[in-house]
Amino acid sequence: MITRLMTLCLGASCVAFAAAADLMPVESEDLSVPSGQPVEFYENLMDRPAMGLTARFRFVAPELRARLSQMSYEELEADLSYLCQSYALPRLSQPKPVMVVISLSEQATEFGAPSEDIPQVFEAYRPMVTPAGEVCAWEAF
């Protein structure tokens, strides 16, 4: 199980908050995405920003810089949506997040640290239950 602890400081008191999704361990698993670019799972983070519990799934895509100059937004979004639907959703447990953020980075980076030389892209999705099952609905922000 992969868990990231976040510490929230509220006024004078600090409250330790741990929100975890049960995840199957992944050992450098290469993932197939619609564009065919190589993608590898990097990490899962859970946090609670103003919009509610958010699951962040971070992936490394070593060819991202070159692919960004060749791919349309629709092709890129198809990869991100696919990762949300086929990778992130099956790994979520209770409490269910209100948002799933999928990110691709050319190389592993520290979350929240600026990395001007490293291309990164991300999209947010809202997990929704439909008659056809659970889906990732694109979320404009």
CATH at 64: 3.10.310
pLDDT means over runs of 10, the chain (141 residues): 28 30 49 95 91 94 96 96 96 92 95 90 95 92 68
pTM: 0.78
Bridge partners of 54, per DSSP, are 47, 99
Query: Omega before 25 cis (within 30°)?
Result: no
Are the C-beta atoms of residues 14 and 7 closer than 8 Å to each other?
A: yes
Contact between residue 31 and residue 39 where contact means Cβ atoms under 8 Å apart: yes
Token pair listed for 90? 């099956």
Domain that holds residue 69: 5-139
Query: Which pLDDT score is estimated for 29?
Result: 67
Report the pLDDT value the prediction gives residue 6, as an integer from 0 to 100: 27
Q: What pLDDT is recorded for position 10?
A: 28
pLDDT given at position 140: 82
For the chain, the domain total comes to: 1
